């Protein structure tokens, strides 16, 4: 399964770009980790339900009510670029 692990393709899915050196290193390290996790195949999981969380919560609802939260100044305080109460990004539509 892990034989077809392609580090560059997967990195791109996560919007990461790797240098040649990083790609070679991660390819080998992650292939090693993926072969380590292969041991899970030997466990009989037939009829076992998956555990996604342990808090035993069901859907949690709240009132759709206004409350005090950030002002736009606060929300923008850490923005790398901003103007007119907006985040500035490179042009999205050509």
Partner 1 sequence: MDLHTLSISALQTRLRSGETTPSAALEALESRIASVDPKVGGYLSRNLLRARQEAAAADVSLPLGGIPIAIKDVINVQGDPCTAASKILQGYTASYNATVIQKLRAAGAIPFGRLNMDEFAMGSSTENSALQRTSNPWDLTRIPGGSSGGSAAVVAADEAFASLGSDTGGSIRQPAALCGCVGLKPTYGRVSRFGLMAFASSLDQIGPFTKTVEDSARLLNVLAGKDPMDSTSLEAPTEDYTRLLGRDLKGIKLGMPKEYFIEGIDPQVDATVRAAIRHFEALGAEIVEVSLPHTQYAVAVYYIIATAEASANLARYDGVRYGHRAEDLRNIQDLYIRSRSEGFGEEVKRRIILGTYVLSSGYYDAYYLRAQKVRTLIRQDFEAAFKKVDALICPTSPEVAFKIGDRSGDPLKMYLADIFTIATNLAGNCGISLPCGFAQMEGSRLPVGLQLLGDSLQEAKLLQIAHAYESSTPWHKERPVL
- Which residues bind to partner 1, rule: CB under 8 A? 1, 5, 7, 10-11, 13-18, 22, 26, 29-30, 32-34, 36-37, 39-41, 43, 45, 48-55, 57, 60, 62, 70, 74-75, 77-81, 87, 89-92
Minimum distance between the CB of residue 34 and partner 1, rounded to whole angstroms? 8
Angstrom distance (rounded) from CA 82 to CA 72: 11
Question: Between residues 77 and 85, which has the closer beta carbon with respect to partner 1?
Answer: 77
Rg (CA), the chain: 23
Minimum distance between the CB of residue 76 and partner 1, rounded to whole angstroms? 8
Question: Between residues 66 and 80, which has the closer beta carbon with respect to partner 1?
Answer: 80
DSSP letters for 13-72:
HTT----HHHHHHHHHHHHHHHHHHGGGGGS--TTPPP-S-SS----------------H
């Amino acid at each position: 399964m892990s034989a077809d692990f392609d580090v560059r393709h997967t990195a791109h899915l996560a919007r990461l770009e790797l240098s040649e050196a990083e790609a070679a290193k991660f390819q080998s390290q992650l292939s090693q980790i993926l072969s380590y996790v292969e041991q899970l195949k030997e466990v009989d999981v037939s009829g076992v339900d998956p555990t996604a969380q342990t808090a035993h919560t069901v859907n949690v609802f709240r009132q759709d009510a206004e409350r005090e939260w950030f002002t736009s100044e606060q929300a923008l305080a850490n923005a790398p670029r901003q103007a007119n109460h907006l985040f500035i990004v490179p042009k999205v539509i050509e």
